[in-house]
Amino acid sequence: MAKLAINAAFAAYGATLNNPQWSVSAWTPSGDLVVSLWDHHFLPGAPPGMMDFADSFERWAGHGNREFRENVARALAAGSRVRMVIVKTDQIGRVQAGEVASKIRKEFILRDDLVGSVHELTGDRYVIRFQRL
């Protein structure tokens, strides 16, 4: 699990962010959705061998949120594979308060050992489920 800059983490999957200042999701040429997800949004209780990550679209706002919401809906509709970049921070309270993430100290970790899909999309909440390749 390598620690990388966000551009490099997405590029490892062949994806390019529309705007590195606010994009948190992008498509690969092969049709996989790459997403960056906060480590603390891991949701316990998934079936054995699987990992769920969940959050609310309403927790934050801006161009990146709109793009992410559209991409997650598109991935669900198309049954697209989802690839993950984990985002870790020690400033969880600021993240949960919806502060601008570009101003929060964080690190990006490539999780190319996992593949997932949009498991749930209801109203403003989503769950993305991953399993090891």
pLDDT tens-digit map of 43-94: 999 999 999 999 999 988 889 999 999 999 999 999 999 999 999 999 898 8
| Interatomic CA distance for residues 72 and 74, integer angstroms | 5
Summarised one tens digit per residue, pLDDT across range 23-48 is: 999 999 999 999 999 999 999 999 99
Residue appearing with tokens 């966000």: 6
- Is residue 36 within 8 Å of residue 24, measured between CB atoms? yes
CA dist 64 to 26, 69, 74, 87, 120, Å? 10, 8, 15, 15, 20
Q: Is the pTM of this model over 0.75?
A: yes
